[in-house]
Amino acid sequence: MNKKFWTEGPGSFAVAILIALTIRWGLMEAYVIPSGSMLPSLLINDHIFVNKFVYGLRVPFTKNWLYKNNDPERGEVIVFKYPEDPSVFYIKRVVGVPGDKVLVENGDLYINDDLIEKQVPQEKKSEYDWLLDRDFNGTLASHIHWEENLDGKNYSVLLERRREGKLHGPYYVPEDSFFVLGDNRDHSKDSREWQETNFVPRDNLVGRAMFVWLSCENKLPVIGILCTPTSLRWRRFFHGVE
């Protein structure tokens, strides 16, 4: 076969597609954040890359693992198939791993009976405020921006100022499963709310969120995955997911 077929002809196009599909299958994939359940860590219309290789490699088009790599750790932000409808992808933060006891009471998170301490960020004017004000339509005053530290990982959460004394749990995380929460704790459908199971099975894992590569306030009306150029959030570009 002519060498130019692979370097300049249709073969080069086929090779490029094969490489792209291989990367998407085994290494990383792009996703768009559709809701505010992970505010303030992830904003609506953040476009993120997800590391798929970190948890293992699957047989293409199946749930079967060729081999398993690391397991998610507490504090990691993961993308997974929603247990009640595997055609839907969710993104949440892992707070409970196999063997853990998890309790959420009045906004406080307890892991194995230990309270995960919260503190208000040191700077009164957070770097998130100018973004959150848009996403909350000016209602940020009804929420408190906290920071939690879970197993050495610092991340932000939002809680409504008015607490209702809600109790969730305790939950006991089974083998090969994970308990997840949204960072926007009072506006997230997560392990506390699901009906069929309160846990993410390991087989439902897609990957770990890495960084934001594109972000905008509005998307194009016809092509919903593309950003409106005039609404780009330049400060979010290449922002790591903590």
The pLDDT, as a whole number, for residue 85 is 94
Q: Is position 92 annotated as part of the catalytic site?
A: yes
Ramachandran angles phi, psi of 16, nearest 5°: -60, -40
The pLDDT, as a whole number, for residue 228 is 85
Give residues with Cβ within 8 angstroms of 143, minimum separation 6.
136, 158, 159, 160, 161, 186
Alpha-carbon torsion 146, 194, 166, 168, what sign? negative
The pLDDT, as a whole number, for residue 128 is 55
Q: Is position 188 annotated as part of the catalytic site?
A: no
The pLDDT, as a whole number, for residue 125 is 47
Ramachandran angles phi, psi of 218, nearest 5°: -135, 150
Strands 101-105 and 167-172: antiparallel
User: Of 37, 41, 177, 191, which residue is the catalytic one?
Assistant: 37
Reading phi first (left if > 0) and then psi (alpha if -120 to 50, else beta), residue 219 is in beta
The pLDDT, as a whole number, for residue 1 is 52
The pLDDT, as a whole number, for residue 219 is 83
Count of helices and strands (H, E) across the chain: 3, 17
Neighbours of 87 (CB within 10 A): 6
User: Of 41, 52, 81, 92, which residue is the catalytic one?
Assistant: 92
Alpha-carbon torsion 199, 89, 33, 133, what sign? negative
The pLDDT, as a whole number, for residue 29 is 86
The pLDDT, as a whole number, for residue 7 is 54
| Full set of structural domains in the chain with CATH | 3-240 (2.10.109.10)
pLDDT along the chain (242 residues), means of 10: 55 55 61 90 91 86 82 96 94 98 94 92 55 52 84 89 82 97 93 93 95 88 77 88 88
The pLDDT, as a whole number, for residue 123 is 56
Tokens of 165: 């004394």
Tokens 């397991």 belong to residue? 71
The pLDDT, as a whole number, for residue 17 is 59
